[in-house]
Structure 1
Amino acid sequence: MTSTEDQTGWTYLMDMDGVLVHEEHLIPGADTFLAELASNDIPYMVLTNNSIRTPRDLRARLLNSGLDIPEKSIWTSALATATFLANQRPGGSAYVVGESGLTTALHDIGYVLTDSDPDYVVLGETRTYSFEAITTAIRLVERGSRFIATNPDATGPSRDGSLPATGSVAALITKATGRDPYYVGKPNALMMRSALRSIGAHSANTLMIGDRMDTDIVCGLEAGLQTILVMTGISTRASVELFPYRPTVVLESVADLVGMTTDPFRRTANN
């Protein structure tokens, strides 16, 4: 772990669900925390593994929750996937199982979306997975299309309970084809590195705030970031002890950072 004593000019990366919001509800103090970042001209990026919505759609959703976050400060697994593919195979083609957040990101990098011999099958999040689309994806992977998935999350939340997510559907395609996908989103540190590049930040002066040890914190560690775990989402103080790695700091919520965003370790040295 690098020393935090002389760090200045912090940049913040943070997860969205479990850190700033629960479904459509604001986590108390998140609005004050973000307002303080803005007033101090501290760069930040909100990360989400969910590829369903575009940054514009997410901005509207967050506004309804009471959070004013610019589009440019929202980084999705769909954007990270598009950035990855643009570097790997510029001007390529893909068959997409997903929604507008993913298709828009791929269109924006000049990809052709097709079911005719695509370079890639790209699997993302959707609330309407169809048997026909999954069957097409399986057959294309069998014929040689490279298999990419936006994130490995097995389930997603809903008001009625868990929903099958990208990782579960990817497992189905893998079982049928024998081919594993390359996951771009968290816990792949590539997602954080691409977010850092998008805002011109450096890992040595960046903090990752998350609510999950197995995605947010390990991803931040592997990207060379300082990490803050909050207790407003998945992880608990007891569950932290089950992992062989630790966050830099454990806090109850982002509200604990209000008043110390320019020096986030000032009052947390003993955590």
Structure 2
Amino acid sequence: MTQDHFIRDKDEMIISSGKIFALGFFGPGNSRNRYVGIWYHQIQEKVVVWVANRDNPIKDNSGILRIDGRGNLALFQGNQTLPVWSTNIAISGTRNSIAQILDSGNLVLLQSDTRKVVLWQSFDHPTNTWLGSMKLGLSFRTGLDRILTSWKSPDDPGCGNYSLRMNSKGFPQMVLYKGSTTWWRSGPWTGRRWSGMPGMTNNFILNDYYFVNSDDEVWFSASVKNASIITRSVTNETGILEGLIWNHEAQRWISVYSHPKEQCDFYGHCGPNGSNQLAEFVSD
């Protein structure tokens, strides 16, 4: 996508080179509101993995997504001059930037003269879905915090009540919150897995884990062994973090993990002596 090549809300879209993901306009569920999002291109069921204007819907089909005069990717409604949503970054030098959707599902804004310098990327601003190679965590240097936030409902992709983020206090761990209240936590990193997620060591799909904890940043990422395997993790509107894999033969999603799963998985449910209240480092 360039300043001369934009998409309108008329079934126009941008497709990744491997035809894995598509970027375009959609209406969730029974809603008449319109959003810009990313979804799997070759799966008939439209599964949206990222939403640009999740809290600022367009009420009609007049939306236009384009590169604006400052070089940002921006969403406009009709003839309005102020964008509904924008990457909103300061771009120095050339403003002839381009936007591209990658086969990873990452939407990137690049300098057009090099096409290598990433000015902005959607993986740094996730919605409710965690894709392979996406980092969950924060940078102490820049303040960037990559958080998964649930949709409000299947008809509304706005920021919901549940969020998954990296808690950097003490031994860092992933924590699922309901509002500001701790709902579930992964436990600290053992060197092989999160202590509260024993199934990770037996997972035959996501076996390449990356955990970084330094003075500059702390984050976690996971990738699949086989690039042809389609997986995603979702923080949904019911407060569940669920990992899913696409079954090509059955043409449906299969759940491979979900947390919290049992009553004592909920933070504080079993009282102060419950295992999920223990703060010490648990190793294999």
TM value normalised by structure 1: 0.27
Higher RCO (Cα < 8 Å, 6 or more apart) = 1
**More strand per residue:** 2
Point out the structure with the larger helix share.
1
